[in-house]
Copies of this chain bind each other. A is one copy, B any other.
Amino acid sequence: MILSVSEAGVVLVIAPHPDDEVLGAGGTIARLAAAGREVHVCIATRGRTDRFGPDQVATVSTEAEAAHRRLGVARTHWLDHPAAELDTEPHGALNASLGALLSDLAPQTLLVPHLGDIHRDHQLVFLSALVAARPTRDVYPANIFAYETLSETNWNAPYLTPPFVPNVFVDISETLETKLEAFALFESQVRPSPHERSIEALRALATLRGATIHRRAAEGFVAIRQCC
């Protein structure tokens, strides 16, 4: 299994904003960490305090740290690009900071947001991750998968923007509850049902992705590139 403990190497989950990594891959992170894999999370942006207020920015950061502890994340890396304003920076800036992180960590596997998400930040993080991971030398991330983010992935334009059709499924039957607990730690981000950012919606998605592969719960991904 690509994401199993039997594979050597670091896993890096790249999130545009804190909580995307939990919504999209929390169960997989918990499973990998429980199996002894070294999982890092990179948060590409930080809210500008003059836009979101210093309290909210601090709150989300604290929530993220708690959630990552719950999942067993080895380390969280903050790139501090401006949240919800990535399009105001040169594309090269994000390419550069992601490139530097990849040089440092030399991850074998990347989990990235989906190009088809409605949030411009998600699209730009996806594109920069691919630039940073280009196979231009002997060593580069061998596996890249895009994850599914409730409240982003389903709200773009059907048939006009790139669809999310999962072709990689990770069984999270054993770690779904951990994922939900980790998401619940983002108190400032959780919404009551029937919002897509609710615990109920997350559970339903996991049940559905699981049923597709005859498992109790799963997370779906889109395969971007795998090198064997």
Contacts and interface: CB of A to CB of B under 8 A. Distances in A.
18 contacts: A2-B228, A85-B92, A115-B160, A134-B155, A135-B155, A135-B214, A137-B214, A138-B214, A140-B214, A154-B212, A158-B165, A158-B167, A159-B165, A160-B224, A167-B223, A194-B215, A198-B211, A208-B208
A127 B120 contact: yes
A126 B160 CA distance: 11
A20 interface: no
Of A1, A208, A224, which is in contact with the most chain B CB atoms at under 10 Å from its CB?
A208
Copies in the complex: 6
Nearest to A137: B214
Interface in A207-228: 207-208, 210-216, 218, 222-228
Measured as residues with beta carbon below 8 angstroms from the partner, the interface class of chain A is: 35 or more
A85 to B, nearest CB: 6
Interface in A169-228: 169-171, 193-196, 198, 200-201, 203-205, 207-208, 210-216, 218, 222-228
A149 to B, nearest CB: 13
A90 B90 contact: no
Interface in A99-150: 114-116, 118-120, 126-127, 130-131, 134-138, 140, 142, 146, 150
